[in-house]
Structure 1
Amino acid sequence: MNNSKLKLTIFVFGIFICMLDTTVMNVALPEISVAFSTPLNNLSWALNIYTILFAALTIPLTRVAEKFGMNKVIMLGFIGFGIGSLISGLSNGIAILVFGRAVQSIGAALIFPLSMILGIRLVETDKRTGVIALLGVTQGLAAALGPVIGGILTQYLSWRWIFFVNLPIVTLILIIGWRILNFSEKNNDIHNFDILGSSLSVLFLLSLTTVLTQGRSWGWTSTISLIVMLSAAVFLVAFLFVELKADQPMIPLQLFKNRNFMGASVVIILSNLFLVAVTVILPTYYTNVKNFDALHASFMLIPITLFIFITSPISGFALNKVGPKILISFGFGLMLIGYIGYTYNGLDKQLYSCVYGALVGSGYGLITGPITVIAASDFTGELLSSSQSVTGVLRQFGIVLAVALFVTGLYSNLSDAQVKSERYVSSTVSKLSIPEEIKLHLIDKSNEGIKSQGAAKIPKKHTGNRTIDHQINVALRNIKNTAQNNVRHAFKLLYQKAVPFLIMTIILALLFWQNKFKNDA
């Protein structure tokens, strides 16, 4: 294997481990909760700190790498990512786990954009479509594989191995990279580092991603949420003002004058949003409603990852022949069919769920290859570097937005489902011909079960009177079925509400994109 292929392998695996760790932790949370003897809600920062810092630090750290040498800095990124993985895997409490994840995220903020930039620079401009498509495929595939790998490692080894698994990969990369990368390169064109612009971009992205990830637990209209939202808006306005005046801005704003890049930016956010809304929510459904173990729940996502792997390479190479309009609109169309399927019967039977998951994966695969090519197609040099750091942030923003919107929507739907189930309990029990004190006991126990697991824990009642016992057990069976149907509907409603937005996305794709792909450079 020649040096170029070895370098590309390093960059592909760098992207893979960075994106894997955005979703690998989700299915392991119950095990971590038990290990630390803490409620699941207390682990939110351990989950979210990675995405928050990853998004906030990507752009300024990319500029630092341009100044001091990308090959040197990416190796530092791998070292940091490895140290963070080790700390996370060895952690014995939430504080240490959060710290380890924070260190990981700093490494990822270096590895991800630099892997994209250095990977693309390995080939000449007119031959880079295949490399860009490969790097783009790796991103979506890794994010979708996260819950699957997390489930397997948690089930057969330990939750700690979702972090330890990174260590042999990082070690091998460091050994190979030390031998083949050029560490003498340096960009002398960057004389003044935009410290103010860098600081404002970090503060804006920190504020935005923090409120999106924590807004549900804080309350979207709470004082702290409103203050953080306002801060994000102020930092954004200040950042734009500074960048317009800067000689060497943190982000060249001319990027956003490019039609291809602007369109690609929107598609990157939306495609990742609609993918992660499935890969994050479905494991929760299977473990909490279907009572699957973590491994079984993660296996239900395999059709998604498999079809991303199949369709992504094809779509990347088909871009010049078919054009972005057909590929992107058809990709979102397949995701739409998958969402409609989840709305009706996709959550009822495993076979249907696999079929609709394959459609969602195929749709995302058709989009991610071309859109990664389009986002980089018109740029070289500094603009290429900036475009990749920005698209890296946009991918993280799509993931954060998916969690914010869909998890908030799910909690709202589940709250409504609980109210409906409790009303049904009161109505059903009140009609029984049994003593009043038994009615009150049944209502209390039924509502307890509904609050804990959608009536999964409602016990049968035995009074010693066959007639009364029969009435009670029939009522409890109906209550349990109704409560579980209400919970199932809460998940289905989530995807039903997303359908109009997917339709709108398809219409916009048809109106915006051209039949043939054309460089605007």
Structure 2
Amino acid sequence: MTSQTTVDKASREPRKAAAPVPAKGLRGHPWLTLFSVAIGVMMVALDGTIVAIANPAIQQDLNASLADVQWITNGYMLALAVSLITAGKLGDRFGHRQTFLIGVVGFAAASGAIGLSDSVALVIVFRVLQGLFGALLMPAALGLLRATFPAEKLNMAIGIWGMVIGASTAGGPILGGVLVEHVNWQSVFFINVPVGVIALVLGLVILKDHRAENAPRSFDIGGIVLLSQAMFCLIWALIKGSEWGWGDYKTLGFLGAAVALFVVFALSQKNVREPLIPLAMFRSVPLSAGAVLMVLMAFAFMGGLFFVTFYLQNVHGLSPVDSGLHLLPLTGMMIVASPLAGAMITKFGPRVPLVGGMVCTAVAMFGMSRLEIGTGTLTMSIWFGLLGLGLAPVMVGATEVIVGNAPMELSGVAGGLQQAAMQVGGSLGTAVLGAVMASQVDSKLADNWEAAQLPPLSPQQLDQASSAVEVGIPPVGGNVPPEIAGKIAGVAHDTFVSGMSTAFMVAGVVAVAAALVATLTKRGANAEAGAGAGHI
């Protein structure tokens, strides 16, 4: 017990030594550091949702195909997910300040280049670069917070950090709708340039480089290649599964390759002097539980939010801006609850807030499964607000559990793991819940169509109609009489809402499972004590 205390005390000393002295200026000030990294993180979080609003305008302006437009999103997501853990390792090796600033500059420059692009091919190339630079930026931000804040204030800092991510993610459609509607699609990307300049100036003035004494000195190149290939195969299978079919040999082939590559990667880490991810990290049950919890939370949240936007726009007929405004209860509750969650976790530990947050999330998902075509704004707001209330402590707590239970010299890798878990969970949720929706539409559309006494459809027409109904769009042709068009819209919306209800039920069950996983978490009080285990 004495040695444990000694290790903990000694390992905290660099963090205390890094605390700024007011007489020496602004560099390294914890709260200013938080403000500085939050500006950069906001850019990346916004781009996760803001670009979806711009895609139709990009498609029309650049004469892009549907596949091209999908690559605008998929290229960004793949680059981000594949690079996150490696980017975190770069921060651990060369310093999180340097990698954060490079990420900010690169992300802003790539954004400006997209706005100047006159072909969809260039847009896709620069979106991939955006993802790569965003991967540098996100884990570095967490590494800087971990190194700058004392343990008793880290949860509050992560709470505000999570608030920025949540608000930016949920606010993306609102800002994107305003910019596309009143300026142009290029403005969605150009806005990152001045934000990036502000983040760069603040970073140069405020951020202080922190490096653990036993930071890694070399790179596991083989591990980087294996992990990158494994992540690519996994995310690519999740992206393309709905198009290829989940039983298709291509989908199964990529999933099988991902599993095989992950196994080979894990085996390779045992024989490397400085592994990319020391497997001993996962001997920490709280850290492992935090990573699983982050996957399950993102599954329920991002998978569910995917259908909410279609429900608001295609069933209720709202504009992108109005859809975003309807999501304000979700955004607002995350803004209010995230710092409060940080304070609660600091006082009581993460377990109770995490379990309570996932229970709230599950209740919200089950409540949203009861949404109907005519559900009013008040009812929707209640469920959206409850969802934000549930997500806030999970976003904060799971992040602290992962980063706080990792050794200080692996804080970048831990930050990359946290972000990678979110990307995998979000992709998995969108893919699985999308498959649930497709299955429901396939099983019910034909019967609903017939019950409405609409003209029969050929198998090819039924397939085309199903594709439209899966996103809530009535398959109405240009010369359809208004009375028939009304019946088709009713069938399409009824079928979509039925599928959405089932998808939300599945998300609710996943949230319940996440609440059970959350019982295994605890605060990262002995994070540094695991530093030695990280190199076993």
Query: TM-score range with shorter-chain normalisation?
Result: 0.7 to 0.9
User: 1:154 touches 1:162 (CA, 8 Å); kept in 2?
Assistant: yes
Q: Percent identity of the aligned residues? A: 21
C-alpha contact 1:79 1:170 (8 A) present in aligned 2: yes
Closer, same or farther: CA 25–317 of 1 in aligned 2, 3 Å: same
Kept in 1: contact 2:242–2:431 (CA 8 A): yes
Query: How many angstroms apart in 1 are the aligned matches of 2:251 and 2:354?
Result: 35
Q: Report what 1:21 is aligned to.
A: 47
Q: Check conservation: 2:364, 2:387, Cα contact below 8 A.
A: yes
Report whether the alignment pairs 1:355 with 2:379.
no
* Contact map agreement 2:360 2:389 (CA 8 A) in 1: yes
**Alignment correspondent of 1:62:** 88
Distance 1:323 1:159, change over 3 A: same
Aligned positions of 1:34-433 closer than 5 A: 34-181=60-207, 190-345=216-371, 348-425=375-452, 428=453
Question: Counterparts of 1:416 and 1:458 in 2: how far apart (Å)?
Answer: 26
Deviations 1:445-494 (A, max 9, x none): 999888753255686649xxxxxxxxxx5x76555433432222222222
Return closer, same or farther for 1:141/1:271 CA change in 2, 3 Å cut-off. Answer: farther
Cα distance in structure 2, aligned partners of 1:100 and 1:85: 7
Query: Which amino acid is the alignment partner of residue 496 of structure 1?
Result: M
Distance 2:513 2:43 in 1: 33
Shift in Å, 1:187: 7.8
The corresponding residue for 1:33 is: 59
How far the C-alpha of 1:261 sits from its partner, in A, is 0.8
Taking a change above 3 Å as real, the CA distance of residues 256 and 413 of structure 1, as seen in their structure-2 partners, is same
CA distance in 1, matches of 2:432, 2:155: 33
Give, as a single letter, the amino acid of the residue that structure 1 aligns with 2:393: L
Q: How far 1:86 moved relative to its partner?
A: 1.3
Moved more, 70-79 or 298-307: 70-79
Give the alignment's TM-score, normalised by structure 1: 0.86
**Offset, 1:142:** 2.4
Higher relative contact order (CA 8 A, sep 6+): 2
Q: Which amino acid aligns with 2:429?
A: A
Deviations 1:260-296 (A, max 9, x none): 2111111111112222123322112222222222111
The superposition leaves residues 11-45 of structure 1 with CA deviations (integer Å, 9 ceiling, x where unpaired) of 11122212221222223322222223345454111
Give the CA deviation at 1:114: 0.6
Which is higher, the Rg of structure 1 or of structure 2? Answer: 1
Q: Secondary structure at the match of 1:25?
A: helix
Specify whether residues 316 and 337 from structure 1 end up closer, same or farther in structure 2 by C-alpha distance, changes over 3 A only: same
Counterparts of 1:79 and 1:152, CA distance in 2: 25
Tell me which residue corresponds to 1:468: none
Please tell me whether the aligned partners of residues 92 and 215 of structure 2 are also in contact (alpha carbons under 8 angstroms). Answer: no
Q: Closer, same or farther in 2 for the Cα pair 1:27/1:196, shift >3 Å?
A: same
Q: Tell me, what secondary structure is at the counterpart of 2:39?
A: helix
Residue 29 (structure 2) pairs with residue 2 (structure 1): no
Distance change >3 Å, CA 73–CA 505, structure 1 → 2: closer
> Cα–Cα, structure 1 residues 281 and 32, in superposed 2: closer, same or farther, change >3 Å?
farther
Partner of 2:501: 492
State the one-letter code of the partner of 2:418. Answer: T
Counterpart-to-counterpart distance in 2, 1:460 and 1:76: 55
After superposition, what is the alpha-carbon deviation per residue over 1:52-85, rounded to whole angstroms, capped at 9, x for unaligned? 1111112222323333333223222112101211
Q: State whether residues 148 and 301 of structure 1, in contact with CA within 8 Å, keep that contact through their aligned partners in structure 2.
A: no
The alpha-carbon distance between structure 1 residues 128 and 458, as it changes in their structure 2 partners (threshold 3 A), is: same
Q: Is residue 215–residue 410 contact of structure 2 (8 Å, CA) maintained in 1?
A: no
CA gap of 1:24–1:414, structure 2 versus 1, over 3 A, is farther
Q: Deviations over 1:169-192 (max 9, x none)?
A: 101122333344457989885333
Query: Partners of 1:447 and 1:162 in 2: how far apart?
Result: 34
Moved more, 355-364 or 125-134: 125-134
TM superposition shift of 1:361: 0.7
The 3 A distance-change label for structure 1 pair 397 and 329 is: same
Q: Would the alpha carbon gap of residues 448 and 71 (structure 1) be closer, same or farther in structure 2, given more than 3 Å must change?
A: closer
In the alignment, the residues of structure 1 paired with residue 214 and residue 113 of structure 2 have an alpha-carbon distance, to the nearest angstrom, of 36
**1-structure distance, mates of 2:488, 2:103:** 54
Check 1:442–1:244 CA distance in 2 against 1; reply closer, same or farther (3 A cut): closer
* 2:296/2:510 contact within 8 Å kept: no
Q: Residue 449 of structure 1 contacts residue 457 of structure 1 at CA under 8 Å; is this kept in 2?
A: no
Is contact 1:201–1:235 with CA below 8 Å preserved after alignment? yes
Q: Secondary structure at the match of 1:79?
A: helix
* SS of aligned partner of 2:369: helix
Q: Residues 483 and 127 from structure 1, CA distance in 2 versus in 1: closer, same or farther, beyond 3 angstroms?
A: closer
CA–CA distance in structure 2, aligned partners of residues 373 and 308 of structure 1: 17
Runs of 5+ unmatched residues, structure 2? 1-24, 530-536
How many angstroms apart in 2 are the aligned matches of 1:248 and 1:460?
A: 66
| Offset, 1:155 | 2.2
Q: Partners in 1 of 2:195 and 2:301 — Cα distance? A: 26
Letter in 1 for 2:292: V
Alpha-carbon separation, structure 2, partners of 1:415 and 1:42: 26
SS in 1 for 2:54: helix
Structure 2 Cα separation of the partners of residues 298 and 122 of structure 1: 35
**Structure 1 match to 2:474:** 454
Give the letter aligned to residue 428 of structure 2: L
CA distance in 1, matches of 2:457, 2:397: 60
**Alpha-carbon distance in 2 for matches of 1:130, 1:505:** 23
